[in-house]
């Protein structure tokens, strides 16, 4: 099992992005905003909830509604459903300033290729491209030739050299690139998932049937869910337990298996148990819940 706890991206870490922060004008306390007017503050977009809105803090919910991050900062807001969009190619440069060895792009669309480069000063230490079209999700030759193209929606680079003084450049190319999550962190590996691991989704859609038997369906978002059975070498127990405890309310990239996308979950661990089953081996179960 592989886990990538993402670093928190700050202004100092985000070196540059080709996506402009032009979703709305910058907030000004001297401006009078009408109902529905938008303004940017701290990389988030706020909408005025009332007319004659002058001098009120964007954090005051009676005057402003937080409608989400700007497109430039959407990949770093620790949420699913907010997107960084822009003209191709989208190029983002980060300076993590801490040890990292993995880059994960989750919930992407309209992207054909993703290139990740790492450099220390003028020296390039890593340069790799993943073609999402070559990893299209097919199970047979019939699917390949006749069913609609269903390309991968994630790209994970987990073999970067560990460095704390590097700059990471991510380039997304495609017809209409859209990026939901960009996570950079130090991947850690613990034990192995076992057969019997289950996975599925939590569906937030609503289905209501009236007295005449007519059903109204309102399609809404869903979240991944997995019940993971695992084994763990006993010397890893303390480090694994401390990591799980630290991530119980923080989203991370959980890679139960490298084969299926459904077994890569961006979310948190809800609960877990471990059993000292053998002198050198621990068995356990944990529940992973993805973000919407």
Q: Which domain holds residue 124?
A: 2-20+75-189
Based on the domain organization, do 10 and 90 belong to the same domain?
Answer: yes
Domain membership of residue 54 (yes or no) is no
Show which of 189, 210, 241 is a domain's final residue. 189
Query: Do residues 216 and 178 share a domain?
Result: no
Tell whether 148 is covered by a domain.
yes
Verify that 82 and 184 share a domain, yes or no: yes
Q: State the CATH number of the domain containing residue 164.
A: 2.60.120.260
Contacts of 176 (CB under 8 A, 6+ apart): 85, 88, 109, 110
Contact between 74 and 108 under an 8 Å Cβ cutoff? The reply is no
What integer pLDDT is reported at residue 135 of this predicted model?
62
The SS3 of residue 50 is coil
Judge contact between 277 and 26, C-beta under 8 A: no
Q: What's the domain count of the chain?
A: 2
Q: Judge if 115 and 10 occupy the same domain.
A: yes
Residues comprising the chain, all counted: 292
Does residue 275 share a domain with residue 237?
Answer: yes
Reported as a single tens digit per residue, the pLDDT across 58-67 is 999 999 999 9
Please give the pLDDT value at position 137. Answer: 64
Query: Do residues 196 and 220 share a domain?
Result: yes
Question: Which of these three, 158, 174, 189, is where a domain ends?
Answer: 189
Three-state DSSP at 72 gives coil
Q: Is the peptide bond before 232 cis (omega within 30 degrees of 0)?
A: no
What number of other Cβ atoms are within 10 A of residue 149's Cβ? Answer: 10
The pTM of the full predicted model, rounded to 2 decimals, is 0.88
Among 143, 161, 189, give the residue marking a domain's end: 189
Same domain? For 12 and 135 the reply is yes
- Contact residues for 222 (Cβ-Cβ < 8 A; gap 6+): 201, 202, 203, 204, 205, 292
Instruction: Please give the Cα distance from 233 to 46 (Å, whole number).
Output: 49
User: Among 285, 275, 284, which Cα is nearest to 227's?
Assistant: 285
Give pLDDT tens digits along the chain (292 positions).
Answer: 999 999 999 999 999 999 999 999 999 999 999 999 999 999 999 999 999 999 999 999 999 999 999 999 999 998 888 999 999 999 999 999 999 999 999 999 999 999 999 999 889 999 999 999 876 567 788 877 887 777 888 999 999 999 888 999 999 999 999 999 999 999 999 999 999 999 999 888 999 998 889 999 998 888 899 999 999 999 999 999 999 999 988 899 999 988 788 899 999 998 999 999 999 999 999 999 998 6
What's 98-151 look like in SS3?
Answer: CCECEEEEEEEECCCEEEEEEEECCEEEEEEEEEHHHHCCCCCHHHHHHCCCCC
**131 and 9 in a common domain:** yes
Report how far residue 285's alpha carbon sits from residue 287's, in angstroms, rounded to the nearest whole number: 7
Q: Let me know the angle formed at the C-alpha of 56 by 52 and 62, rounded to the nearest 5 degrees.
A: 80
Query: Is residue 201 domain-resident?
Result: yes
Whether the Cβ atoms of residue 177 and residue 90 lie closer than 8 Å to each other: yes
Residue 130 sits in the same domain as residue 170: yes
Q: Are residues 168 and 139 in the same domain?
A: yes
User: Percentage helix, strand, coil, to 5, in the chain?
Assistant: 10, 45, 45
Whether residues 138 and 13 fall in one domain: yes
Quick one: 176 and 203 in the same domain?
no
What is the C-alpha separation between 158 and 122, in angstroms, rounded? 22
Pull the structure tokens for residue 229.
Answer: 């059975």
Give the integer Cα–Cα distance in Å for 292 and 289. 9
């Amino acid at each position: 099992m592989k886990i990538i706890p993402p670093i928190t991206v700050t202004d100092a870490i985000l070196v540059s992005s080709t996506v402009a922060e032009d979703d709305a004008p910058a907030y000004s306390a001297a401006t009078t905003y009408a109902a529905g007017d938008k303004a940017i503050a701290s990389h988030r977009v706020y909408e005025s909830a009332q007319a004659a809105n002058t001098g009120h803090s964007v954090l005051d919910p009676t005057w402003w509604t937080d409608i989400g991050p700007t497109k430039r900062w959407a990949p770093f807001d620790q949420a699913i459903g907010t997107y960084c969009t822009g003209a191709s190619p989208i190029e983002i440069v980060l300076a993590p300033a801490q040890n990292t060895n993995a880059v994960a792009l989750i919930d992407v669309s309209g992207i054909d290729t993703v290139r990740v480069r790492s450099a220390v000063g003028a020296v390039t230490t890593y340069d790799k491209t993943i073609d999402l079209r070559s990893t299209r999700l097919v199970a047979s030759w019939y699917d390949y030739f006749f069913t609609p193209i269903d390309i991968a929606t994630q790209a994970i680079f987990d073999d970067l050299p560990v460095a704390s003084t590097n700059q990471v450049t991510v380039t997304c190319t495609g017809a209409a690139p859209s990026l939901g999550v960009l996570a950079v962190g130090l991947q850690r590996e613990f034990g192995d998932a076992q057969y019997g691991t289950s996975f599925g989704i939590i569906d937030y859609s609503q289905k209501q049937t009236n007295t005449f038997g007519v059903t109204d369906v309102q399609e809404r978002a869903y979240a991944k869910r997995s019940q993971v059975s695992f084994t763990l070498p006993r010397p890893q127990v303390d480090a694994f337990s401390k990591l799980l405890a630290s991530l119980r309310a923080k989203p991370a990239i959980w890679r139960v298996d490298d084969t299926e996308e459904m077994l890569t979950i961006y979310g948190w661990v809800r609960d877990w148990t471990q059993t000292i089953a053998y002198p050198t081996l621990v068995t356990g179960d944990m529940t992973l819940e993805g973000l919407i």
